[in-house]
Structure 1
Amino acid sequence: MKKIILYSILGVLAISLGWLTVDLSPSMRSFIKLRVIEQGPNITYYLGNGGNSGLIIGANEAVLIDTKFGSFSKKLHKSVIKKIGAKKLTIINTHYHTDHTGGNALYDGSAILSGNYGESSWLLENDVNTLPSQWIKTDTTLDLGGISIEIIPVGANHTKQDLFVYIPEENVLFTGDVYSHQTHPVIKEGSEPNIENWENTLKKFANSDRSIEQVVPGHGDLATKTDLYTAAAYFADLNLLSKKAFKRKYKRWYKLPFMATSEKNWIYIQNHNVKNP
């Protein structure tokens, strides 16, 4: 009997280790593993543990971009509160998916800003205790004291009301999931994405006159302005290539076991007849 139990335990361990080896691709590991990067005294990046987050601290106030979810959001909250001390904190959600908004409720008393989803749409994705206090409809600038935050609504891309956040003094752009570094973009029909806008938004900011030295994606490692071109090309290929050619060109990408595969993306494009040649 003891041998049976021992073999059962070993079998479970073997299966678990196999799953970790096969399924945790570099992109999935980057989603789970937390990496904290301090960029000078003003900015801290919290990459992974769900959606990427960023803390910007000015002389008078602070801003947190995206709050993660579950236990990850609690770890982030502990770090943020320790860093900002008594400074006023504002939360910005780049979009309404829960891996970016799940920790909102932890910041009691803080203003929470997001794109113009409206309450009914927000609650399709989130709990009521995560609701923003302000829907951002036009470009908005926050002065934190010595450093400013530009909140830029980019409309329907990854979701129906995405936001970018730009920090001109640091030449940093936060894109949310409109750009995720070296992973498949997640195309979720219920979030009302717009593929043509998505491609055009990436091109627009890649060609922007804004000085952008650092791009903070929704998922994955820190990137550069040039990486936005690569992501735009992905959508161009989705729109223009046949399924067979697409699979051949992106064979390695196709095998990534991330949130959404390129096959699912292709099916979405076919069903919605976007730029179908």
Structure 2
Amino acid sequence: MKKITCIALFCIATLASAQGRFDNVKINVEPVSENIYMLTGAGGNIGVSIGDEGVFMIDDQFAPLSEKIQSAIKKISDKPIKFLVNTHFHGDHSGGNANFEASGTMIVAHDNVRKRLAATEKTAGAGLPVITFSDDATFYMNGNDIFITHVHNAHTDGDALVYFVQSNVLHTGDTYFHGRFRFPYIDLNSGGSLAGDIEAAKKGLMIINNDTKIIPGHGPVATRADYQKYHDMLVAIHKNVSQAIKEGKTEDEVVAMQSLTSAYYSDEETAKDFISGEKMRRAAYRSITSIEKEMKH
């Protein structure tokens, strides 16, 4: 009995801690264009389009923040949140799905996002996308052609870029990090790849122009020039690591070769980052070698 009581108390304490870490999170609302906003709090950047036809939303952070996010949106629009697009399945971008679904919002995502959420016990019961697409989709709302396009095996296997044509604003999801988020997170276990992330940036750069404002998955609003630098960095890292592999370097040797990434950020600079220089080189090595193995088979 004592053991069961201890386990129960531990579970309660864990849940309270999980909830408690969001208590002091403030949702900030930043105008990006005339009717496009970026919301930040804890987790991925949220994009919001407002207008007479309702609210169109991109990503929703964590479930405990849903009420705060809804309150923040009500300050800029009295219209309902009609659509919510998940740029991918990670919980810091889709954690509030069930809450928004319960309030009448229709959830949209790539086919693989629904598959991954449906296969996870925690997210299978509610908040699954009810509209999915395999390649592209377009919404016509609030004076914008909202173009959504899938980018293959980039950050994950279900990533989407969302472009507001008339407002000239692009939301990249986690296929692009900016600012203090220096190196990207390539989720190899969820279908991500370095080559795919390069192609995602290339596709995004083809869609936009020099005046486009970019909402990255994490970090401040960026420009096309910022995005181009990110693309070029990934291309160079891919080239450097590929050359090291051709020279017969092992994974651990590649990870130890700071010179492969130091032209951009040193290991000292990124030591406390979510993705350090060492993690970046390891991910690059594993991504490149796994693709080579697939090609041989």
Which residue matches 2:58?
Answer: 65
Q: Distance in 2 between matches of 1:247 and 1:145?
A: 43
1:240-251 equivalent positions in 2, closer than 5 A: 240-241=239-240, 242=244, 243-249=257-263, 250-251=265-266
CA distance in 2, matches of 1:205, 1:119: 23
Partner of 1:205: 204
TM-fit CA distance, 1:37 = 0.7
Query: Does the residue aligned with 1:46 lie in a helix, a strand or coil?
Result: strand
Q: Give yes or no for the alignment of 1:161 onto 2:182.
A: no
TM-score by length of 2: 0.74
| Closer/same/farther in 2, CA of residues 73 and 253 from structure 1, 3 Å limit | farther
- Compute the displacement of 1:253 (Å): 7.2
In structure 2, the partner of 1:112 is: 107
Q: Give the aligned partner of residue 121 of structure 1.
A: 116
TM-aligned CA deviation for residue 105 of structure 1: 1.3
Equivalent pairs, count: 245
Name 1:36's counterpart in structure 2: 29
Matching residue of 1:263 = 278
From the superposition, tell whether residues 245 and 141 of structure 1 become closer, same or farther in structure 2 (CA, over 3 Å).
Answer: same
TM-score, normalised relative to structure 1:
0.78
Distance 1:39 1:235 in 2: 26
CA 1:174–1:212 in 2, change beyond 3 Å: closer, same or farther? Answer: farther
Shift of the 80–35 alpha-carbon distance from structure 1 to 2, 3 Å rule, reads closer
Letter in 2 for 1:140: A
1:9 equivalent in structure 2: none
Name the residue aligned to 1:217: 216
More displaced 10-residue stretch of structure 1: 97-106 or 64-73: 64-73
Query: What is the deviation of 1:256?
Result: 4.7
Counterpart contact for 2:258–2:267, Cα < 8 Å: no
SS of match in other structure, 2:155: coil
Q: Are positions 1:53 and 2:46 aligned together?
A: yes
- Structure 1 gap segments, 5+ residues each: 1-31
Q: Which amino acid aligns with 1:98?
A: G
String of CA shifts for 1:229-276, please: whole Å, max 9, x gaps: 211122223222252312543216752523222311211222343589
SS of match in other structure, 1:58: coil
Q: CA RMSD in A?
A: 2.5
Amino acid at match of 2:144: I
> Residue by residue, what CA displacement relative to the aligned partner does 1:32-63 show, whole Å, maximum 9, x if unpaired?
77432124551221024210001101221220
Q: Which residue of 2 aligns with 1:24?
A: none
CA deviation after TM superposition for structure 1 residue 88, in Å: 5.3
- Give a deviation string over 1:68-107, Cα, whole Å, max 9, x none: 1043333112222454434451001111100000111122
* SS in structure 2 at match of 1:227: helix
SS in structure 2 of the partner of residue 140 of structure 1: strand
Maintained 8 Å contact 1:90/1:111: yes
* Runs of 5+ consecutive residues of structure 2 not aligned to the other structure: 1-24, 245-256, 293-297
Give 2:130's match in structure 1, choosing from 125, 130, 133. 133
Percent sequence identity is 27
Query: What is the distance in 2 between the residues matched to 1:43 and 1:86?
Result: 14
Q: Which has the higher contact order (CA 8 A, sep 6+)?
A: 1
Name the SS of the counterpart of 2:163 in structure 1: strand
In structure 2, the CA distance between the partners of 1:200 and 1:71, relative to structure 1 (3 Å rule), is same
